[in-house]
Amino acid sequence: MEVVKKDLGKLNAELAVKIEEKDYKEQVDKALRNYRKQANLPGFRKGMVPMGMVKKMVGTNILAEEINKVLSDSLYKYIGEEKLDILGNPIPVQEDINIDWDTQKSFEFKYEIGLAPEIKISLSDKDKFELYKIKVSDKMVEEQVQEIAKRYGKMTDTEKSAEEDMLYGKFQELESGKIKEGGIAHGTVINLRTVDNKKELKKLLGLKVGDVVTLKPQDIAEPQYVAAWLGIQKEEVGAITSEFQYTVEKVQRMEAAEINQELLDKLYGKDTVKSKEEMKKKIAEEMEKSLEQTSEQFFERDIQDHLIKKAKLELPDEFMKKWLLTANEKPITKEQVEEEYEQYAQGLKWQLIENKLLKEHNVEVKREEIVDYTKNLVSQQLAGMGQNLMEDKELEETANRVLQNQEEARRLYEQLYQVKLRKLYKDTVKIKEKEIGYDDFVKLAEKRSKK
């Protein structure tokens, strides 16, 4: 058995795997003998079918199967021994190979591989970043209080419609200004919050019971809302061109709940929060915590962008595009690969850099660490649901059960690695903390996303 590497470029190579009879004969003979032991053919006792007949029946299939095993083993053994850092998987080189399974003893198979680039990157206090402290304004807190009050409020009838009201009524399709015979007619409720065409929204304001307005519902909101209003499928909305008349049958408004102790107990537990001011303080703390996570993600994105730019990595792009065509479970076209490749390449570059940082700084997650991390998450979840905390033994058993789910365990390991990487960044780079208002932060985030 022999594997020969031929460089096709800086990050591309071809591996030719040459297999001789001595490399597979023993395995093929063993597989044939095992098949013969189990073979059941009329006229022969079990296990006594002539070997010649066995070979005629399954010889070619077994030969191909065993050669494939030898081929795969030798290919990956070579990659491991030569310490080749490959991207994706080897792709068979498509050539016109005519194999004569009856007489041919030697075989050669060729594979193309893509190689990972060498990564020369490091972090130090020469790398400078800003970490934003997003300020929570009194206005933001008050808006949240009002939103909660509305959420726990009740609907009441009102005389005229305003921007956040609910209109109960009926759509009827028009033709030449008259109700179309056999056209769409559907009773529905319009939440005026869902109307995103501000010009058309004006037609729906100030309406009273019995008022009739003419409009094109397909032009004033997202298709899912229009479909519900007209009683049709979302996919049918695009074909609607008619005008409709809408007859108002009822106008309702959400009356905000009073911020009293009954509501506070419902929100936070009995006597935990005792006044509107305490409620505001708690909301501000929750918002600050949420915005802190947002700021951390923004900070990490800055580091990613900086290191990708600094590393100047090249990838075997043409190989990766070919591999993506073969690796997807669902069929994918060349056009789709071309369209999405840049985003994929950026993700792959960051993954390579991240792995380099983890290895260089000996960052690892041990079993006891992931168990403790999971226990903490379970405790937080129980506390958030207002349930009593578990004893440590029960908590550990719960954490271990969660980690038996491979998908969940993988997700939690990734989370903890990100926590450790975040600590590495903060311990290594130079950070300048900067206060910023929420609105200014949103503008900054939108500006960055357009780059």
Residue 176's contacts (CB-CB under 8 Å, 6 or more residues apart) are: none
Q: Decide if pLDDT at 359 tops 70.
A: yes
pLDDT surpasses 80 at 383: no
Q: How confident is the model at residue 96 (pLDDT cuts 50, 70, 90)?
A: low
- Which of 225, 254, 228 shows the shortest CA–CA distance to 164? 254
Give the pLDDT confidence score for residue 192 in this predicted structure: 95
What average pLDDT score do residues 406-411 get? 94
- Report d(CA 246, CA 287) in Å as an integer: 41
- Do 2-115 and 154-255 share a fold? no
CB 450 within 8 A of CB 147: no
Residue 266 CB contacts under 8 Å (≥ 6 apart), including other chains: 152
User: What is the C-alpha radius of gyration for the chain, rounded to an integer number of angstroms?
Assistant: 34
248-265 burial code (b ≥16 CB/10 A, e <16): beebbbbebbebeeebbe
User: Tens digit of pLDDT for each residue in 205-218?
Assistant: 999 999 999 999 99
- Per-residue pLDDT of 2-24, as tens digits, reads 999 999 999 999 999 999 999 99
- Closest by alpha carbon to 323, among 119, 117, 115, 118? 115
Q: Which of 361, 362, 381 is nearest to 373 (CA)?
A: 381
- Distance, in Å, from the CA atom of 332 to the CA atom of 324, rounded to the nearest integer, reads 8
Going by pLDDT thresholds of 50, 70 and 90, the confidence category of residue 83 is very high
List the domain boundaries for the chain.
Answer: 2-115, 154-255, 275-449
Residues near 291 by beta carbon (within 8 Å), at least 6 away in sequence = 134, 136, 438, 441
pLDDT, residue 318, reads: 94
Spatial separation of the C-alpha atoms in residues 226 and 218, rounded to whole Å: 6
Confidence band (pLDDT; 50, 70, 90) for 89?
very high
Please report which confidence band the pLDDT of residue 386 belongs to, taking 50, 70 and 90 as the band edges: low
Number of C-beta neighbours around residue 331 at 10 A: 7
Task: Find the helix or strand (DSSP H, E) in which 434 lies.
Answer: strand 430-437
CA atoms within a 13 Å half-sphere pointing along the CA-CB vector of 208: 1
| Cα 123 from Cα 421, distance rounded (Å) | 12
User: pLDDT of 302-321, one tens digit each?
Assistant: 999 999 999 999 999 999 99
Tell me the fold of 2-115.
Alpha-Beta Plaits (3.30.70)
Mean pLDDT of the chain, nearest integer: 91
User: What pLDDT does residue 387 have?
Assistant: 64
Does domain 154-255 sit in CATH 3.10.50.30?
Answer: yes
Position 292 scores a pLDDT of 93
What length is written for the chain? 451
Q: What average pLDDT does this structure show over 416-421? A: 93
